[in-house]
Structure formats: structure tokens, C-alpha cells
Structure 1
Amino acid sequence: MHNPEARPGVKVLDRGVEFSVYSENATGMELCLFTPDGTETAHLPMSHERGNLFRLLVDGLKPGQRYGYRAFGRYDPMAGHWFDSSKLLVDPYAREIDAAYRYDPKLAQYGVETADIVPKSVVVADLPEATDHVALPDGAFIYEAGVRSLTMLNPHIPESIRGTVAALGHPALVEHLQKLGADAIELMPITAWIDERHLRELGLTNAWGYNPVTFMAPEPRLCPGGISELRGAVEALHQAGIAVILDLVFNHSGESDQFGGSLSFRGLDSATYYRLAEDDPSVFINDTGCGNTIACDHPMVRRYIIDSLRFFVTQAGVDGFRFDLAPILGRTRHGFDTHAATLDAILSDPVLKDRTMIAEPWDIGPGGYQLGHFPAPFLEWNDRARDDMRRFWRGDPNMTGLLADALSGSSHIFSVRDQHVTRSVNFIAAHDGFSLHDVTAYVHKHNGPNGESNRDGHDENFSWNNGVEGETENQVVMARRRQDIKALLATLFASRGAIMLKAGDEGGMTQYGNNNAYCQDNETTWIDWKAMDEELIAYTGELAALRRQFAVFSETAFFTEEDVSWLRPDGETMTVKDWEAAECDSLSVVLSTVERESAAPTRLAILINRSHEEVAFSLPERDAHGWHSLAGQARGAVEIALAPRSVSFYAEMLSETG
């Protein structure tokens, strides 16, 4: 029986350190103590207490003590039990580990000692509780980045901290985020992970971090200073008004399938921490495609998830979380439940309730696509808007209505259950898939360097190459791609809801057609700052400033007829025939809004021309001031010649009677 008072983890007391670990099926547990050089100095039996908790208080221990566990019980994988006391196990509640995880065949071999290859958990005392918090505004601009890809080649950051969390707080990086106008940086996983076992033979390493073993301890290769290093970076970003979101993986662990190793959960109690097939407990349910699925509906696992989130809020001041393959958080034995206990616990927890929560609303399990079905106020990655914006600019037919819906916050998705606001996170590109540049430069994926004969990654990317596949010195092709990138950026920044930009896309970064670069911890994923397009960076900053200038972009309520008009290039209202036309390449969107600084009522026009020809646009005037370009053209323009493959913004400031 689960005891709600059971408190796993480590407590630093005046007299020593108390260790607690949870297991429903272990018959015994030992605490193993180590010196910093890895020498085992003691293995101490722990008392088995109520609530399936094993506990031991050791006098005289201090923060910095290395430790691990050995669990005793039945080794019977056919029944879902993998107990093996030769395996040193990392504490799931470890806040720090002393080395990175690394795969070794010994991890999967019964009866083979692993203390020499498994990282040691480290006792860490609590920091003073973080009180600073930067709340994300509605319609926030989120910048998604991996720590190493963002900082490894930045010439303005000292080499000593490149590739680490400490680099995130460096003034050069903070200034870049401010220049872009980002409201938040979303960090790809920084918790300790293990490289997939097949990568070692290929000479590759995991570059993304979506293969964690423990869910609190920072990855030593990224964050050698532990939680204090993360807190310092968060504080530096907060001083610049930039929020920090952590991308966390609670859906699976790097122990993988039945051929994987025992590092933590599996050895402590596989049948509790993982979902096993009811008719054959030797089989790990694989709703993730990564070999196993965490049992997020188990009460102790739920507590572990909540405690992990609280840890990053209270100890580092983190402002929000993005959940990888988030339907698993809401999946029970009966399928996905919008009101699953774990989702409710996240939203109702008093420590977490003011933090931003973002779901990646799909996995590969049954009923795994749940876009629009997460409970408010969860934000959700919107892959349909991504695909529809790409397909419109690729030139696919019958895309006008779908583009309009994406620009409007995808009301057909987020209005379910009588909701009246969008919770969409719109994006054109993310870490998973083509970069923004590659959307315009590659029709086909080029994943050969990943060592899987180009079988990995998505085959359909809704991309185009402007006449040449891949990188080229052809100036005409390069100019066309650049124009398309600007059009895609403008479309993204003109959309209603939160928006997300992949780091490097503001400067035209390429990944050479690799749309699954998870194992490319090298120049494929590292931003080459010297090659970044400064004009594109400036343009991105202008778009972000425009979003801040007009209130319409921070509002999330769905448009009414009074809020928006959809016009043909001649200025007339779009008809049903216009909407249904297969090749509708040009339209304008006129929005009623307020200019923030002056509080003046304003009409904002977004002109869109995906054709390869210049198109003449007319805008209906309502005020003597007339329309003026937000790029600085003269006032009074009603007839506008819009360049091919472009998006332009115009405003008409209205008088009180306008």
C-alpha cells in the first residue's frame, strides 16, 4: 500500500544524512558509500519501513558524499523483476552525479559488478529557495536551444565555459536574446542522459539529451557546477527579463528495453517504475519508441515527477516546463485522460501553479495524438500549424483556409470543450526535423551520417529546394531561399498564440538536410556564429518588436467578425469562391488592435504574396492618416506593389472617430 507520507530522497541533517529510496518489490536494500575516487568504503543495510520505503540515517556524513544503492530481490525478467545486487544503482532523487552515464555491456549482464562504470549519486544540500520569477506573456516568443549547439562555437564566450549551462548567462548570449526580442529560452534536456547503446559502435554521441536516466541531476557534461550553475544562468537571464523553460523527459528512461542495462529504475523496481504488458510482464510497453514507458499513473512515480518539477522551481528559479511526448503523462491503462491524476497534480500543485506548462501532444502509443486535448492552461506544440504554413509556402493547392486558421490560433483545434482562447505554440521548425533554412533547401532528408542508411527521420517534410538540392553557390537560388525564409519567419510572427523559433534559424543555419540530428554533437548542430546572416537576425528582431508593438499578438481569444477581415488583393472581402480556389496565392489580413505605446486604436494589415510575381494590393482607408508601412515607407499608400514570395505589414492609426 502506498503511504502518502513516504518521502524518498536525501535529507541533510545536523547529525548526518538520511537516505530513503522507494521499492515495492525489493526484499532488501543496501546503501553503498564511496570516496571521490570511486573507492567503496561501506555497504550498509537499510531498514524496510512502511510505505515501501527503505531508510537509513548515517551519522557524520556531509554534502559531497558519494553513494549508490544495491537492491535485493527476485531476478525474474519474465515476471518483470530485474533485481541484481551486483548492480550499483543511482538514486532517482539524486540531485547531482559525479560523472556522465556511459553505456557498457556489463550493465545488461546478470551478476556482473558495475560499481566501476556507474556514476555515483552525490549528497547535495538545499540552496536558499529561489524567489525570482519571470512570467511568460500571452503570445510569448520562445527561443528553443540546446546548450552545446548554442554556445560551442560562439567566439564571444570564453572557451572555458562553451558548451555548458554557465555560458547561457554570458552577456554575449543574453544580448543576442535581447536583440531578437525573445521572451523565453527553452532549453533542450539538461538532465543526465545516456547515449543510445548503438551509438558507441558508430562513434557518435547523443546531442539532444532525450534519453535520461535520472530526472533531477543535471548532465555533468553540460552542467559541471550542478544545480548552482543552472541557478546562476537563470538569474542572469532573469535580470534581462528572459524566462527559462526546461524541456523534460518523463516518458521513458535510457535503460531502454529488455536488452538495456540496469542503472536506476530497473534495478530498484522495474515493475513499479515502468509500464509492463499485462499479459506478459517481460515486455516493456513502448509508447515512446525508445524501448520503455514510465508508469506516470503510479502514485509514487507521480510524486517523483512533481518533486522533480518543484526541485527546478525552488532550487533554480525555472519559469516553466516543456514535456516531451506528453500524452504519457495522461495515459492510464484505459488510454489518455485529459483529467488524469498526474496532469491534475501538475496544474494544482501550489509551487507549480504559476509556471508555464507546454505539452508536446503526441507519442506513438494508442491514442497518442492529443493536440488540443490537454487541460488548460497547458500550451501545446502545434504541428498542424507548422505543416500548414510550410505547405502554403511550398505552393500546395487549397491551403488558403488552412493558413488562415493557423494565423488565427487554430480555433478548430483549441475550441474543443467550449474553450475560447488558443493554447497553440506555433513553430515552423524545431530541433526535431529540418532547420528553417533546410525547409527551403532540401526536398529529401540526408541522414546518412546518423549511421542508419537514411532510414531514420521523417520522409515527408513539406519542404522544397528552390531548384537545387542542398547547399549551393548559385546566387539566384540563395536569394530565393533567403526570401522564403523571411516569408516563413513573418508568417510565424504574424500568427496568434505563442510562437517558437529554433536557435540558429534566425540566421539561416543549415543542418545539411539532416532531419534527425540527435546524434550529431558536432558542427552539424552547433551554430556557426561567424556564418550567421546578420540581416536575417535583424529582421527577426524587427518582427519580434512588431509583435510587442501591437496588442493583437499578445491576445489569445479567438477572432470575432469585428476583429478581422480577410481581403483579396483588390481590397474586397474574400468570398467562398476565393477561399475554395485551389491556387489562391495572395491575400491580406486586416486586424483591429491597439498600438501599445500610444494606446491608439489601429488597423494592422498583413499582406501575403506566395506567388513568384509582384502583386498589386489595395487597402481600404478608414482614416485620413492613411496606411503606412511598418518598414518605414511613406504614409498614405493605398496601392501597394508587393514583391514576390513575401509578407509585409501596414498600419492605419485611427482617430477617435475613425
Structure 2
Amino acid sequence: MMRLSAGCAARLGASWDGRGTNFALFSANATKVELCLFDSQGRRELDRITLPERTEDVWHGYLHDVTPGQLYGYRVHGPYEPELGHRFNAHKLLLDPYAKRLAGRLVWSDAHFAYRAGSPREDLSFDRRDNARGVPKAVVVDETATAGRQEPRPQIPWEDTIIYEAHVKGLTEMHPDVPPNLRGSFGALASPAMIAHFKRLGVTTIELLPIHGLIDDRHLIERKLSNYWGYNTLAFFAPEERYSPHDNALDAFRTTVARLHDAGIEVLLDVVYNHTAEGNHLGPTLSFRGIDNASYYWLHQENRRYYDDFTGCGNSLNVSHPRVLQMVMDSLRYWVETCHVDGFRFDLATTLARGPSGYDRNGSFFAAVRQDPVLAHVKLIAEPWDLGLGGYQVGGFPSQWSEWNDRYRSLLRRYWGGEGSLIGEISRRMTGSSDLYHRDGRKPRASINYVTVHDGFTLADLYSYNHKYNLANGEDNRDGSNNNDSWNCGHEGPTTNAAVQALRLQLRKNQLACLMLAQGVPLLLAGDEVGNSQNGNNNAYCQDNEVGWVGWEGLGTPHDDLIDFIARLTELRRRFPQLRANRWLDGRRSDGSYGVLWLTPNAEEMNEHDWAYPDGRFLAYVLGPTDPGFAALFIVLNAAAQPIGFTLPKLPEYHVWRQLLDTTDERAVIAPFASGASSTAPPRSVLVFAGSVA
């Protein structure tokens, strides 16, 4: 018999205080909540205890004899009235939304549905089967060891940040220098080989695809696939156990973060608070749906049986509800305070800021984040769109936020693919996208610039395929974007043709060069530095295999190993502050100084006629020094398929221009050019020069 008392409602979840454990669960519409305790294997229910108290819609109780390691779940009683938004079914064991650690994995069966699968009444029917054996259980954890503990952080300024987006398993599963027993795990990220790789590249910040507790969709399991990327969250406080199969996942993740911090590398988490793994009205009842469906989710106003799906994943979390907002905020603070992460990238972030009238940049979520003392010091990045009405909000987030800039991605792909008449917009994208972000005190760091990310072609595939090849996903090649702005350079897929290989390499270098030369924050996709390919699959979300993993075969090969090239670019970015500007550029000032000068091929300042040059593919500009003692930079972008002659800038303060980069020429030393000298930009090239007095 357990000693039971009322406990308190102040802290949600299971909280062990050294003597016993307080359990607290929010549900505004439940009629009774039962706490279920399980054996260490999670197979046998040992006790079922009705939580004795309800305070402001929080059901709570304190068990004096429960210690860390105890497995538990909930059964929540209430009406089963889908038309009114209620889907309570006490026959279904439910995961605590505040679970800090998970035990076991979901074993799919029809018992996980609150309705009778196959019934002609669909979700209006009711299922009485117990699903407890096949669901993950929450585990009581000891948080006292981490409470109030502070650890040093790299605290890298936004303007110095270079992000490297990676999947925990995919990055390390096939790396030849990572110990086999570590590959695919949290620990592998902080192995000596990976830390050396990050430092060699010059990246400062690792952005991890979702690591929150997740489940694999049933339709993927039936096709012998999985939700590899992890955008299918069930537990917002617990690290996914599959990334630490032999150790405590929470301890393993915290250790990894600490070791990366020791190496001066930040850790960002890609987080998915816009929807959950429970899917649409025909999905399983695993947690939120059975706890309080009408509170946790956006429901259709005319028929609350159905969900407002802004995400394309079947449901949308209603973060405008105070208790749902509290859960999201508590989760974010937990990952910062307990695991010491340095920030977050928010998947489909527009959904988080939706209210009854749509997207609201003054809404409760933004207000809560803005005033939070913990989150005030971490990096916040939005994927600034969702699939709902008015969901595309690039440039529409508050000043505290940075945003994925897909306008940069699309334009740079089109430009280096040979499309003309883009130089006006290219000028804006290369200088921080002021047309999108220059308001409300925002700075160039608001723009997260990228050409490739997990979603879409890799950089190697971008210049190897005109079409996607997603048949392995089992959806008849219907999934994944059809608008990739890719170019196969004259041959679809792999080739041994030396000319095609050289062109592909050149275009990859140009994209990487622009990424590091552009103002804003660059984001590099893991594997692009070694020519990683997904065989033309532009939606490898379910490919937990060699398609989705980074292939390291390109190490040391002339057509694929771009590690040293990227290292040169990141070093160049560190040397010249104007590439890391924290304020917006202006043109020629009244005193003759300047932030940026846009030049014609003849080194004359461009006028309106020059910007409108038909089918133009050549852009040249000077970035002025930000401080005395630093040199100006002259940058030339030639996307034309033929060489274009140009004149070096004729500026009185610089007598010569020393070439720092030519993406078509790897020579380390190039003779300096006199001011006003003539030169030639090779076809499809990026050139960089630094001004010098001698």
C-alpha cells in the first residue's frame, strides 16, 4: 500500500524531492485521473491510484514511497464525445506530457486507438481494449543533481555564428574515425574525431534535428521504414532513447553538450511544438488527446470532431491555450537549465503564434518568450511558415528572433543555375536581406542564410539531378518538393564525365562561397563538405539507412572533399568584420565613406540603368571596412557561362588589390592587382580581393 497525500499543483509532471514523488497533471475536462505504476520492465501494472486533489484544473497527489526509476502512466476519465472535442478513454494508458525519461517503445496495434478500428462509425465508435503493454512509460527521475547547476557556455555572438545542421545518427553512423560502439549516438557527436572535424571546418554551432522523444508512424513501420528525421514528437521533455541505447539518454545528452561546450561549440535543438505524434482524428490516443483533447489542440470551429491542421501532420498544438503555452515554455527552460543547450530552431514556427484570428506577431507565445529571463540569453530561430492561411511569414517575426531565409535559398539556386536578371535581388540577399528584416530594430543576423538543409536535395544532388527520386519512401514519388531549382549539369545522376564533374564541383564551391560571404548567419548542411548524396531523394525523412546517413566516401577525393575549401571560407569570414556586420549597410555617405559600393564591370558606381541591364548575371561590389585598420573587400560574382572582363576598383585609399579567393583556381599565392587594372572573371566564378595601400 502506498502512502498517499494531496501533494501540490505548483509543478506539473513527476517531481521527486528526496522523500517521495509529487504527481501533477493538467486536464480541464476530465472527471477523474488515475496514476498507474508499473514494474521495471513496464509490462505489469502494479498499482492504480486515483489522484486525490484538483486545483485549477491540475490533478495531483503525493506518494511517499515512490523513488527515481519508477515507471508510470495515466488513465484519464471523462466524456467520449468527438463531436464536442472530447476523446477520453480510460482504457488507454497515457504518457505524461512532462515525462523526463521514457522506458520502452511504442509497439503498434489497434489497441492504441480510442475508437474501434475498422468500425463503419470510425472515430465515433469506442474501443475498450487496454493498450498498456505496447506504449512507452514515463520514468521518475532525480532532478536534484542538476537543480541550479550552472555550466560555462561558449556564448558566441550572433555575428560570429556559423551553423552546421546535422542528424545525431546520420552524421556519425558511417564516419570511419568514430568508434563503432559510439556511432549513431549522442556520445559520437562529442567524440574526438567529430570535434576535430567541426573545428577544422570552422563551424561554431551544431543544430541537431529533433531529439525529443518520438514515435515511428504506423504506415512507415508497415513499410519497414521509420520516422528518421524525428519530426513526430510525443515527449517534449525527454531525449529520444534510440540515440543512447546502452546508457541513460538524459545523462548521455548532457555529457555530450558539456564536451562540445568545452570545445567552444554551441548546441541548438530543432524543436517541434507545432504538432504531436497523435495525428488527425483517426490517429492513436497516446497522451495529449486522451488527457484533454479540447485544450491541447486546435479544433475545427464548426465541427470539433476534426482538427485545424496548419502543419500537414494531422493536428496543431494550441499554444494560445495558457496551459499548453506553459508546457512549451517549461520544456524550453528545461532544455536550457538542465541540459544547457544554447538555443532552438522552431519547426513551422508560425503555428506557435496563431490565435483565433490567425498569425499574431504580438501573440501570447512571443510575449512569453520575450519576457522570460532564461530564454532571453539563448538563440531563437524560426522556420517562419506553416501550411495554414497566412502562414508564410518570412520577415514577420519579432526582433528577438532570427529566421530561415528561404528567399536566399531559392534565389542563389536560380542565380547559379544560370537564370539572368536577378542581380538586384542578389545584391539584397548578399547583404543581409534588408528588404525583409530592416525594421523594428532587427539586424542582419535575423537572416539565416542557407542553400541546402535536411529537407530537400543535398548540395551534391542539387547539381546532379533535375528530378527527385523518392520511390524508396513508398509514396510513388509524390512526396517531396517538385520545385528544387536544381540542375544536373547535362547528365542525370552519377557520371564519370570529367567536364560534368568539374562543373558540378564549381557550382558547389560557388554556393559555399556565397554562403560565407553573405551577411547574415550561414547554415551549412552536414555532409555537403564531402559530397554526400541521397541518390536524388529530396525527402529522406524515413530513410534510416545509407540514403539518409552522411556518406564519408568523399574524404580525400578531389571532386568531393571540400573541407579545406570551407575552412578557407570560414577563416576569411573571421578575418573581415564586414562579412559579419551587425548593422545595415548604406551606400556612399556625404563624407565620401561608404558601407557598400555597387560597381559596373568598368568599376563605375552603378546607376538605375545598370541595375536593369537585360539578362545580367554579373555583380561586383566593395564592402567598406568597419573599423580603421581593416581592409575593404571587393567581391565579384559571375554566373554567366562565359568570362567577363572587369576593372579593379579605383579607390584613392587602395593602391593594390590582393586576391583572396577564386573558386576556379586553387593557387595559394596570386600576384596583386594595381588599382584600376583589368582582369577577367572566369565563367561561373566567385572572386574576392582585399584592398591594400602597397
- Name the TM-score, length of structure 2 as normaliser: 0.91
Conserved in 2, the CA contact under 8 Å of 1:190 and 1:223? no
Give deviations 1:40-63, integer Å, cap 9, x for gaps.
111111023211111111112211
Matched, 1:377 2:400: yes
Corresponding residue of 1:79 = 84
Conserved in 2, the CA contact under 8 Å of 1:410 and 1:422? no
The residue type equivalent to 2:73 in the other structure is G
Residues of 2 paired with 1:104 and 1:564: CA distance?
A: 62
The 5-angstrom pairing of residues 529-548 of structure 1 reads 529-532=552-555, 533=557, 535-548=561-574
Corresponding residue of 1:221 = 242
Q: 1:430 to 1:624 in 2, by over 3 A?
A: closer
Structure 1 unaligned spans of 5+ = none
Residue 635 (structure 2) aligned to one of 606, 610, 617: 606
Conserved in 2, the CA contact under 8 Å of 1:100 and 1:221? no
Q: CA RMSD in A?
A: 1.7
Give deviations 1:302-348, integer Å, cap 9, x for gaps.
11011101111111110000000001111001111111111111121
Matched, 1:633 2:670: yes
The residue type equivalent to 1:216 in the other structure is F
Conserved in 2, the CA contact under 8 Å of 1:610 and 1:644? yes
The 5-angstrom pairing of residues 384-533 of structure 1 reads 384-417=407-440, 419=442, 421-532=444-555, 533=557
Corresponding residue of 2:208 = 187
Residues of 1 paired with 2:336 and 2:90: CA distance?
A: 35
Matched, 1:145 2:166: yes
Matched, 1:347 2:379: no
Give deviations 1:418-451, integer Å, cap 9, x for gaps.
6564510000011111111111111111111111
TM-aligned CA deviation for residue 130 of structure 1: 3.6
Corresponding residue of 2:692 = 653
Residue 141 (structure 2) aligned to one of 109, 115, 124: 124
TM-aligned CA deviation for residue 594 of structure 1: 4.8
Residues of 2 paired with 1:350 and 1:419: CA distance?
A: 20
Aligned sequence identity (%): 40
Matched, 1:553 2:558: no
Residues of 2 paired with 1:462 and 1:141: CA distance?
A: 24
Conserved in 1, the CA contact under 8 Å of 2:100 and 2:238? yes
Corresponding residue of 1:10 = 14
Residue 61 (structure 1) aligned to one of 53, 66, 83: 66
The residue type equivalent to 1:146 in the other structure is H
Residues of 2 paired with 1:553 and 1:102: CA distance?
A: 51
Residues of 2 paired with 1:487 and 1:200: CA distance?
A: 40
Conserved in 1, the CA contact under 8 Å of 2:654 and 2:691? no
SS of aligned partner of 1:640: strand
The residue type equivalent to 2:151 in the other structure is T
TM-aligned CA deviation for residue 642 of structure 1: 2.5
Residue 177 (structure 1) aligned to one of 182, 192, 198: 198
Corresponding residue of 1:318 = 341
The residue type equivalent to 1:609 in the other structure is N
Matched, 1:205 2:241: no
Corresponding residue of 1:34 = 38
SS of aligned partner of 1:616: strand
Q: 1:99 to 1:136 in 2, by over 3 A?
A: farther
Residues of 1 paired with 2:380 and 2:423: CA distance?
A: 31
Give deviations 1:446-474, integer Å, cap 9, x for gaps.
11111111111111111111001112121
SS of aligned partner of 2:503: helix
Matched, 1:584 2:616: yes
The residue type equivalent to 2:541 in the other structure is Y
Give deviations 1:54-83, integer Å, cap 9, x for gaps.
111111221111111111111122221111
Conserved in 2, the CA contact under 8 Å of 1:103 and 1:194? no
Deviates most, 418-427 or 482-491: 418-427
Residues of 2 paired with 1:421 and 1:509: CA distance?
A: 30
Q: 1:636 to 1:34 in 2, by over 3 A?
A: same
Residues of 1 paired with 2:389 and 2:172: CA distance?
A: 38
Give deviations 1:341-368, integer Å, cap 9, x for gaps.
1111112111111000000000001110
SS of aligned partner of 1:213: strand
Residues of 1 paired with 2:221 and 2:445: CA distance?
A: 43
Residue 180 (structure 2) aligned to one of 152, 159, 184: 159
Corresponding residue of 2:156 = 136
Conserved in 1, the CA contact under 8 Å of 2:399 and 2:441? no
Q: 1:493 to 1:149 in 2, by over 3 A?
A: same
Conserved in 2, the CA contact under 8 Å of 1:101 and 1:193? no
Residues of 2 paired with 1:115 and 1:383: CA distance?
A: 43
Deviates most, 625-634 or 207-216: 625-634
TM-aligned CA deviation for residue 158 of structure 1: 1.3
Residues of 1 paired with 2:18 and 2:615: CA distance?
A: 74
Conserved in 2, the CA contact under 8 Å of 1:145 and 1:503? yes
SS of aligned partner of 1:630: strand
Corresponding residue of 1:97 = 102
Conserved in 1, the CA contact under 8 Å of 2:531 and 2:561? no
Residues of 2 paired with 1:486 and 1:411: CA distance?
A: 25
The residue type equivalent to 2:659 in the other structure is S
Residues of 1 paired with 2:384 and 2:30: CA distance?
A: 35
The residue type equivalent to 1:333 in the other structure is P
Conserved in 2, the CA contact under 8 Å of 1:372 and 1:416? no
TM-aligned CA deviation for residue 616 of structure 1: 2.5
Q: 1:418 to 1:122 in 2, by over 3 A?
A: closer
TM-aligned CA deviation for residue 578 of structure 1: 2.3
Matched, 1:51 2:56: yes
Structure 2 unaligned spans of 5+ = 1-7, 116-126, 588-593, 662-668
SS of aligned partner of 2:377: coil
The 5-angstrom pairing of residues 610-625 of structure 1 reads 610-621=639-650, 622-623=652-653, 625=655
